[in-house]
Amino acid sequence: MIQAVSPTKWSASGGVRKIEFGADQPLLLSSGARIAPLTIAFETYGQLNADKSNAILVCHALTGDQYVASPNPITGRPAWWPRIVGPGLPIDTNRFFVICPNVLGGCMGTTGPSSSGPDGEPYGLAFPAFTVADMVRAQAMLLEALGVHSLFCVLGGSIGGMQALQWAAAYPKRVYACAAIATAARHSAQNIAFYEVGRQAIMADPDWRGGAYQAAGVRPLKGLAVARMAAHITYLSEGSLRRKFDRRLQDREAVSFGFDADFQVESYLRHQGQSFVDRFDANSYLYITRAVDYFDLGADFGGTLTQAFQGATTRFCVFSFSSDWHYPPTDNREIVRALIAAGCDASYVEVQTDKGHDAFLLEEHAFEQALTGFIDSAAASRGLPLP
């Protein structure tokens, strides 16, 4: 039974707020499989107004979590979007009710491959493969349970942007505005290739144990670190790597003629790999990357992206970053082209920056200003308060 939960009733066990859907409320997946029971961990900020018209759903990226505007109590890491979501910020929690769920298959409280299945054992590879559409279907279950029947806005960056687009395509009547940031409507061959390298690195680690590492009391830390290192390079531009590190040496005057981290960029990458394995589950990485590989919104809606948005009254804004080569401007412009062709209200902002894909998480005034304008304009149109 779906529990109706009011904000005052949310419990925070160890700082993780959750809602559970029982065996009678399975999540039906694109593959035909189903997941039950299903737990969705989520965080909220601000207050839902009386007519429930001020809800904003924030969808997190591959390795993000629900702690968009507050510290993660499990990892101790700070809020991941501190310049975007909060009081007086572009997503103003004084005016909006912000919901951020941990994604399906994740490892911060929402059911995923590290969760216990119906038999009480960790799923491991018995967890069913899912899609971005399934992530969104799970989020829709959460919103229904919270009594939020429509969204003022859905937004996200990277694969969060894919979820935002999926929301607008699957539930056009329930989404007033949609901000898709540094994303794509179809994951490219190059991106599939990079994700496959990461998966192979994880699966090559003998501590992966065919996915059953939890039962063995081990974790494929080395493989997961390599996967993260490879992916992390794609989140930064060549120019930003040159600006931040170039060929500067790490704590030494000359190269070591060996395999230490002679260069700052090596030291930085190793740190990225090491800190990642402390906070992320390897099987979650496999499953979520697979969901993203499978993302091709146009193919899912009759073959063209335009059809996915035909007739939608949602207001769209697509944001991209000039030096992003993970989801480059061309991918984002393709979304805009399809939206325009579908007759939608669509704007496009391309921010000039050398920060690459990760720019959406960093200080980028032009992005913040444009996002603020889009949100406030939509709020005015919707009759919601302005700052």
Q: Which residues, at least 6 apart from 76, have a Cβ–Cβ distance to it below 8 Å?
A: none
Cis ω before 122 (30° cut-off from 0): no
Residues 212-251 that bind a copy of itself (CB under 8 A): 222-223, 225-226, 229-230, 233, 238, 241-242, 244-247
Q: Give 284: exposed, middle or buried? Use CB within 10 Å, 0-12, 13-18, 19+.
A: buried
Looking at the Cβ atoms of 2 and 33, the one nearer to a copy of itself is 33
- Residue 60 is classified by DSSP as P
Only segment of 25-33, 63-71, 169-177, 313-321 that touches a copy of itself (CB under 8 A): 25-33
**257 contacts a copy of itself (rule: CB under 8 A):** yes
Task: Give the H or E element holding residue 43.
Answer: strand 38-45
**1 contacts a copy of itself (rule: CB under 8 A):** no
Residues 90-129 that bind a copy of itself (CB under 8 A): 125, 128-129
Write each residue from 139 to 178 as x if it is in contact with a copy of itself (CB under 8 A), else as -, in one continuous string.
----------------------------------------
Q: Which residues, at least 6 apart from 271, have a Cβ–Cβ distance to it below 8 Å?
A: none
Please state the closest distance from residue 239 (CB atom) to a copy of itself, in A: 9
Please state the closest distance from residue 42 (CB atom) to a copy of itself, in A: 26
* Tokens of residue 125, six digits: 């590879």
Give the position of tokens 């800190």: 275
What distances in angstroms separate CA 55 from CA 95, 99, 100, 130, one per listed residue?
A: 9, 7, 11, 26
Residues 272-301 that bind a copy of itself (CB under 8 A): 273, 286, 290, 293-294, 296, 299
Total number of residues binding a copy of itself (CB under 8 A)?
Answer: 57
Write each residue from 327 to 366 as x if it is in contact with a copy of itself (CB under 8 A), else as -, in one continuous string.
-x--------------------------------------
State the Cα–Cα distance between residues 29 and 38, nearest whole angstrom.
Answer: 12
CB 43 within 8 Å of CB 113: no
Only segment of 49-57, 146-154, 189-197, 342-350 that touches a copy of itself (CB under 8 A): 189-197
Q: Taking the CB of residue 14, how many other CB atoms lie within 10 A of it?
A: 8
CB 31 within 8 Å of CB 25: no
List 43, 65, 92, 262, residue binding a copy of itself (CB under 8 A): 262
What distances in angstroms separate CA 67 from CA 121, 179, 382, one per listed residue?
A: 27, 19, 27
Active site members: 158, 324, 357
Give the position of tokens 């971005």: 132
CB 166 within 8 Å of CB 132: yes
Please state the closest distance from residue 248 (CB atom) to a copy of itself, in A: 9
List 196, 215, 362, 363, residue binding a copy of itself (CB under 8 A): 196
Interface residues toward a copy of itself, by CB under 8 A: 30-31, 33, 125, 128-129, 186-190, 192-194, 196-197, 199-201, 203-206, 222-223, 225-226, 229-230, 233, 238, 241-242, 244-247, 255, 257-259, 261-263, 265-266, 269-270, 273, 286, 290, 293-294, 296, 299, 325, 328
